[in-house]
Structure 1
Amino acid sequence: MLIEQLELTDFRNYSSGRFQFSRDKVVFTGPNGIGKTNLLESISFLSILRSFRTVSGREMVRLGSRGFDLRCRIDKGGLREDLRVVQALSGRRETFIGANRIRRSSEFIREFRTVVFVPEDRNITGGSSSCRRRFFDMLISTLDSGYLAALSNYHRALSQRNHALKLPERAAVAAAFEPELAAHAPLIAARRREYAAAVEQEVNRMLLQRGKAQFRIHFRCDYPESSAEYLALLERNREREMIRSCTGIGPQLDEFEFFLDGKLLRHYGSTGQIRMLSLLIKLAEFNLVRRSARERVAVLVDDVTGELDEENCIRFFETIAHADQLFFTFTEFPSLEFFRDAEQIVLPQKQG
């Protein structure tokens, strides 16, 4: 077992909540809207300091509160540690391991890993390019703290440069952020290309087991993958971008195109193919995290098996069974044999 205890204060719909876990499989049950997904989100946030539902920390703060407080106790192979995240509505965040304040996010997120399965995963294949970028950003950040730091620094500099571009008299200010963008963009592109190839290989391995199809990911970026060339391009584009008030090149516009048997999935894939490939891509993520991460891995499943036929449901459970701990949400406790040894936690009608 990985996570032994979870505490929430002013997080989403929870004014307070405390949960003890005693098994490797945990099932949260209760009616829709009761807060089951919020519990999965809190566990994921304690792992990677990012939400799988929103990019804004404000949305996770309980209405009327000034911030939230999350805590969990984890078992790291016999060594127990207490993790804590305190985030204010203003965005200021503090992290702790035990009594020690951790000032660098990269040091905090080394404690455990999570892989999340949610109904919205179908958007990875059938949705917008931002959904695919977000999937790869979450995957790579889970395994590479250097990537997470580069991505955060890049977007911080991008926001500042875009703000300066809106004011013609601040051209010099916009230029000041360009070296920061140029320093991080090539690394982001390189890691995205590397992990796109890894996901492609993993999905094709699973497709081969089913005797089906050929999957391909085409990663496309519109900028040089050399810091010096990237910086020079930013300088050449600056005057035109001041007219548009935004930066027109960079990782924020990267695209991952998914092909099945040579056909672009989001245009020509059937609903069934899009669902199947989205699930396989997420299972590829789990396999990569389980093999690559030194930390223990928890899988969080938010009621995604309802759309699966029996064969794919069995394959899904067989794959994720290798995690160190599994958390599920259902409206009612499932009757499947897989859950015979699971711990059920029934959520009360009113949280707080």
Structure 2
Amino acid sequence: MLRPEPKPPAHVRLTRLGLSNFRNYTAAQLSAGRDHVVLFGPNGAGKTNVLEGISLLSPGRGLRRATYKAMVRQGAPFETGWAVSARIDKAGEETAIGTGLQGEGSRIVRVNGADARPDDLTGIARILWLTPAMDGLFTGGTSDRRRFLDRLALALHPYHGRRASAYERAMRQRNKMFEDGVNDPNWYEAVEREMAEHGSAMAAARLDLVIKLNAAQAVRAATGGDFPQALLGLSGDEGDADGPAFLRRLREGRGRDRGAGRSLSGPHRVDLSVTHVEKDMPASLASTGEQKALLIGIVLGHAALVTRVTNETPILLLDEVAAHLDPGRRAALYDTLEGLGAQTFMTGTDDSLFTALGNRADRFRVEAGAITPAG
């Protein structure tokens, strides 16, 4: 029996973006029709602010991880809040989404005018990003790599962020019980069950991501490419994807943890290891240029993986991605992006950085809080 042809991935596109009282924008709009969108202009003009606004159309605090209060337009009273709105086209079906902050309240999310949760946004568009702040990922702190790992996992497992938050709350409660001298084992049992439930789900999602992304990276390397292959791994105490086993570890380690005043075992202790495959060495020992190329390769491989697993193309935000690439590698990057089929928003100080894109991109000049179509 012949198998049915696989269904082509749904193309996801942000066709319209609106910013209100957000960062340096009083009010700004952008309409995009092509797969690639270029934002160029002088440093400090607000290019990254546009990408940050788009990143808030996904769960979490966006690509800068700033407080929501910090996003209110500079000089405006905090009570005015801010808003980001967009229209997302998925295979011809349009969805209106928006998020924002009003006064001292919490973040608001709406989908087609109805109240929604941040987790619901992943079902509309999976938004991935690469920023200059991530350049030191391989040599920086463990928490930065863990956060990067969780952002990658979130694109495949929409409830990963919710589970991570629930795990953190339960862990803080357990640590507080140690601090307060609580001795009732029943109290610990209840909290540890919650930690085991959410922590094992986190560990399973991370492991699933690493296995699938390594496989995707290997395929990409076998078919050629201009960015080096990275091999990802989990090191340190990665927790346990087996809930009952993790629960036993928590019970058995209760005395040790009480003495330390904190939980010494679990997914909050994991580290992401990355190896430069061709050179067979840790990414942390690679040159700055090699580390940048490895990071780009991981992000491109992840975008391809997201498309294959979800059968939907993601939206990529690449901040200053071309600044330190030579012309040949820039052209190769743009060709790779074209092959991915994902919509890509890129920033740079000069439009000439994107010459190799030709007429494949919508171009916008960003200056003094204004976004203007260019050419």
Give the match's secondary structure for 2:64. coil
> Paired residue for 1:337?
356
Mapped contact 1:206–1:280 kept (Cα < 8 A): no
Give the match's secondary structure for 1:340. helix
Question: Which residue identity is paired with 1:216?
Answer: L
CA distance in 2, matches of 1:26, 1:180: 44
The structural deviation recorded for 1:155 is: 2.2
Give the match's secondary structure for 1:19. strand
Pair 1:259–1:347, CA change in 2 (3 A): closer
Q: Which has the larger helix fraction? A: 1
CA distance in 1, matches of 2:66, 2:175: 18
Worse-superposed segment, 205-214 or 57-66: 205-214
The structural deviation recorded for 1:214 is: 6.8
1:325 corresponds to 2:336: no
> Paired residue for 2:196?
182
Mapped contact 1:3–1:75 kept (Cα < 8 A): yes
| 1:15-30 paired onto structure 2 within 5 Å | 15-30=26-41
Q: 1:204 aligns with which of 195, 218, 237?
A: 218
Q: What TM-score, normalized by structure 2, do the two folds share?
A: 0.82
CA distance in 1, matches of 2:213, 2:182: 45
CA distance in 2, matches of 1:213, 1:65: 45
1:256 corresponds to 2:272: yes
Q: What TM-score, normalized by structure 1, do the two folds share?
A: 0.87
Mapped contact 2:48–2:319 kept (Cα < 8 A): yes
The structural deviation recorded for 1:88 is: 4.9
Mapped contact 2:228–2:293 kept (Cα < 8 A): no
Give the match's secondary structure for 2:323. helix
Identity %: 27
The structural deviation recorded for 1:25 is: 2.5
> Paired residue for 1:100?
114
Q: 2:132 aligns with which of 114, 119, 126?
A: 119
Mapped contact 1:221–1:255 kept (Cα < 8 A): yes
Pair 1:162–1:19, CA change in 2 (3 A): farther
Q: 2:92 aligns with which of 68, 78, 86?
A: 78
Question: Which residue identity is paired with 2:109?
Answer: T
> Paired residue for 1:308?
325
Q: 1:153 aligns with which of 143, 161, 166?
A: 166
Mapped contact 1:40–1:300 kept (Cα < 8 A): yes
The structural deviation recorded for 1:285 is: 1.2
The structural deviation recorded for 1:49 is: 4.1
CA distance in 2, matches of 1:65, 1:221: 42
CA distance in 1, matches of 2:262, 2:24: 36
> Paired residue for 2:315?
298
Over aligned residues, Cα RMSD in angstroms? 2.9
CA deviations on 1:261-282 (whole Å, 9 max, x unpaired) are: 442221x323332222122111
> Paired residue for 2:153?
140
Paired residues in the alignment total: 350
CA deviations on 1:72-118 (whole Å, 9 max, x unpaired) are: 1122222222101133575722221112222x433332111222122
1:162 corresponds to 2:175: yes
Pair 1:243–1:88, CA change in 2 (3 A): farther
1:226 corresponds to 2:237: no
